Amino acid sequence: MRIALPTENGRVNQHFGRSREFVIFEMDGEQIQNRETVSTASLQHNHEGLAELFKNKGVDTLILGGIGPRAVEALQQYGIRVLTGASGGVEEVARAYARGDLVSRDVLCDHGHDHSCNH
């Protein structure tokens, strides 16, 4: 299973579209088998480009804080599951997901790109 999380200083970045880095974990049960950090600075707010990147990296699930409906739609078109409302350290969130302890909360942005998101 491969999961991706937007990251900032080792924690889940709360704003998908403004994330400059994502960490992709390859999980075997609760164990992290591989970790890859991917720069996405050139893809900020490029929903289709981000979705294609994750698909090409073999990501099954994206776990994050908040995200807009168009970004969710783009990811789902590539078969990527989206879980919202996550917070905390990326490794602990990844392990919580692997244990089945994460529940997606409805944290969607429906405002413009020049906002301050407080998820």
**What is the C-alpha to C-alpha distance for residues 90 and 35, in angstroms, rounded to an integer?**
11
| Class of residue 24 by CB neighbours under 10 A (exposed 0-12, middle 13-18, buried 19+) | buried
Across 98-115, average pLDDT? 65
The pTM for the full model equals: 0.86
Q: What is the pLDDT of residues 10-47, one digit of tens each?
A: 999 998 988 999 999 999 999 999 999 999 999 988 89
List C-alpha distances in Å: 110 to 67, 68, 92: 9, 6, 28
Q: What is the pLDDT of residues 50-94, one digit of tens each?
A: 999 999 999 999 999 999 999 999 999 999 999 999 999 999 999
State residue 19's pLDDT score: 92
State residue 106's pLDDT score: 59
In the chain the domains, ranked by start, together with CATH numbers, are 2-99 (3.30.420.130)
**What is the C-alpha to C-alpha distance for residues 1 and 36, in angstroms, rounded to an integer?**
14
State residue 15's pLDDT score: 87
91: tokens are 């490794």
State residue 118's pLDDT score: 44
Residue 78 CB neighbours (<10 A): 15
Tokens 């099954």 belong to residue: 60
